[in-house]
Copies of this chain bind each other. A is one copy, B any other.
Amino acid sequence: MITAGSIGQQPTTRWVQRLDAWWRAANYLSVGQIYLLDNPLLREPLQPRHVKPRLLGHWGTVPGLTLTYAHLSRMIMLHKLDLMLVTGPGHGAAGLNAAAWLEGTYSECYPEISQDEDGMRRLFRQFSFPGGVPSHASAHLPGSIHEGGELGYSLAHATGAVLDNPGLIAACVIGDGEAETGPLATSWQATAFLSPERDGAVLPILHLNGYKIANPTVLARIPRHELNSLLIGHGWRPIEVAGSDPTEVHESYADAVEKCVLGIREIQGAARRGYGSRDRKWPMIVLRTPKGWTGPHEIDGKQVEGSWRSHQVPFAAIREDAHHLACLEQWMLSYRPEELFERDGAPVPMVCDHRPLGTDRISAKPVTHGQVQRDLRLPDPAEHAVEVPMPGTVVAESTKRLGTYLRDAMRLNEEQHNLLLFAPDEHASNRLDAVFEVTGRRWQLATEPGDDHLAPDGRVLEVLSEHLCQGWLEGYLLTGRHGLLSSYEAFAHVVDSMVAQHAKWLHTAARIPWRRPIPSLNYLLTSHVWRQDHNGASHQDPGFVDHVLNKRPELVRVYLPPDANCLLSVADHCLRSHGLVNVIVSGKQPALQYLTADEAAAHCEQGLGVWRWASTDAEGDTDVVMACAGDVPTQETLAAVQVLREFVPDLRIRVVNVVDLARLASPEQHPHGIDDKAYREIFTDAPVIFAYHGYPWLIHRLTYRRPGHDDLHVHGFHENGTTTTPFDMCVLNELDRYHLALAALERVPRVTGRLGHVRQQLLDRLAVHHDHIRRTGEDLPEIREWTWTQ
């Protein structure tokens, strides 16, 4: 048994008629995408063969999305808005595809999906179909910057999009399922950061259709006054639109959207005229409409419209069950397609005209396709370089140098407003505080004496949520601007899932010609595993790099600069790049410096190379290769070479430093990979002791097909962590100079005769240090006198 859905009575007002017709058309097209292979206009009685064999898609959220789209489009036309749309319930892609098709954009982007019957058939067929487009919004969808497959990031993306876009409104549909996630729950705090002067506005539309897959949602079931109270507490002014009669909802929704637009203009206008108030409440909408609205109300005696049963495909036995087939036909015909589409399948003028023109269409916003970009101006890294007269003699904090570089970058882009920095409250503690000479921390709430560099239009965003930092930065990048996220290395794992989703987006977007490559997602992971002097085991985890390297190789880069000048070179390179995920791992503590600016630039360009000045071998005459990647491993490797020079002066050692980790892979594995010949020239046939910053097996994974891999021995982090001195941390994980030196000696047959004697001396020395550290809490004194070749 099927009961008709709530198509409702005939609207009387002209604009409601038009909007409702558009909405019906979009819903018709959505149902068609979920169900039909053929017969898109139902010109002939629906047959099983017209229906897809696998029915995949999410109907429940669609009518809310199409309704919202219709109302926003109307408001764009009425008020000439610069408005984009982010849809959290991305699984409703059928509705969004339909909208883009009605707007003509879909056919502009995909000419074969034309605005006629053939195009409609192709639109239906491709949806959730092999070789077609997914059932959730993806980079395929014109006008979208948001995937909506994994839930939780819509509001953060919308917030990031309007940062530094003062004319833009990012409307953002938030599903009540998504609203239960942590990232979304904290995203409401955007009100404390968005500047009414400098930024555009976010217009959240919390869509309470009441159900998830099988459960009601929390926000739909708490009392209305509590929901209001919650949103007000977050700095918003909620306006409720509720109902199940389309005409009534159209009228109240139109009214609510207009109130929001006027409210936004009032807040921004006042602030921009200098009369801004901290008491402002940004308007938003709470939309309560039935899940699967206008779909079948009841099937086989069970409620579908307005219930969790309409979440995905409301009924699916179409090919087998003639009654279900009839239900589907009846459902589609209830939208009165004959009023909506011409004989050739094109939308009738009434439907067609319900759309803004050109790039005002939601699906044609250039800002969502990376088409609005201003080139980033960057300073010369050499101007911020450390003077290094001799390797290992100067101490500097690498990130401090990067701080002055970023400060100058801020200055150079002061007018174009296209660079922002993000971190969970750590720019100063991560030694990037030079940026505060030219800008502040964005902050809209009350200030108090003693506050440090808070500013309503600050270009540094700090909030104690990696999710928000990442989500805001993604939104900022996806709309064509540039940024950097710095984080404690261990806590980058908080956003593992987000970076995976972003990489998927980049992967798809790269193959879509009307999307311009967007600036890269750049991470600076500092306060890393080896220097958690304050924090201990909970802050020690170098695995983010492993996670990122599981993504498509053409999209991901990992850099481990050994010193400040290399960090500058690498960061400069990353900030200039597009379409990538770049991860830079670099300590913030005072550390030895090795390369001059020129040497660093050349070394980073190569990505890896022999450090001749630290080596004692001659071409074709190497006993052992001491390789290293990462600042602390580099320091310990060089110290190990000093130890070996002292104890086994005739040992022929080659030092290899790796900055760009992907160089270790083959060219087939990664575009930065080097071929076996080049690999062998660098690593020789000798045994290799590799001191690596993170989990050692990552190096094996990159090199297992390399010649000589059987004699590659990696030292790295073995999850032995605690609060202790930097040197003791190395000892705990056998990454220290003595263990490295011993490992080298053990692998060189020529010297193993002397091994027993040397081993005892090295272990004795290690024991002395260890004892000293445990007794006094003081670390190993730094090496002040190095012996270099020449």
Contacts and interface: CB of A to CB of B under 8 A. Distances in A.
Given A533-B54, A725-B54, A778-B54, A147 B181 contact: no
A96 to B, nearest CB: 14
Nearest to A278: B223
Nearest to A228: B233
A218 interface: yes
Nearest to A192: B218
Q: Which of A57, A185, A303, A493 has the most chain B CB atoms inside 10 A of its CB?
A: A185
Contacts of A234: 226, 230
Contacts of A723: 56, 128-129, 132-135
Given A214-B429, A496-B547, A149 B180 contact: no
Contacts of A56: 533-534, 723
A611 interface: no
A537 B777 contact: no
A666 interface: no
Contact of A226 (B132, B235, B468): B235
A131 B724 contact: yes
Interface in A450-485: 450-452, 454, 462-468
Nearest to A58: B534
A445 to B, nearest CB: 4
B180 A218 contact: no
Nearest to A448: B216
Indicate how many identical chains form the complex: 2
A135 B427 CA distance: 22
A183 interface: yes
B496 A134 contact: no
A773 interface: yes
Interface stretch (A108-116, A497-505, A563-571, A625-633): A497-505
B719 A551 contact: yes
Interface residues of A, number: 131
Interface in A163-185: 177-178, 180-185
B149 A535 contact: yes
A541 B500 contact: yes
Contacts of A213: 425-426, 428-429
Given A183-B182, A538-B147, A218 B135 contact: no
A493 B500 contact: yes
A636 interface: no
10 nearest CB pairs, A to B: A149-B538, A230-B233, A182-B182, A134-B536, A229-B233, A493-B497, A185-B186, A185-B185, A180-B464, A221-B445
28 contacts: A54-B777, A128-B536, A134-B723, A136-B536, A138-B536, A149-B537, A150-B490, A150-B538, A152-B182, A180-B186, A185-B188, A192-B218, A214-B425, A214-B441, A214-B452, A215-B441, A226-B235, A229-B230, A230-B232, A302-B450, A491-B497, A494-B496, A501-B538, A507-B537, A508-B537, A543-B550, A552-B719, A704-B704
Interface of A: 37, 52-54, 56-58, 90-91, 128-136, 138, 147-152, 177-178, 180-189, 192, 212-218, 221-223, 226-235, 279, 302-303, 307-308, 312, 425-429, 441, 443, 445-452, 454, 462-468, 490-491, 493-494, 496-497, 500-501, 504, 507-508, 533-539, 541, 543, 546-547, 550-552, 695, 697, 700-701, 704, 709, 719, 721-725, 728, 773-774, 776-779
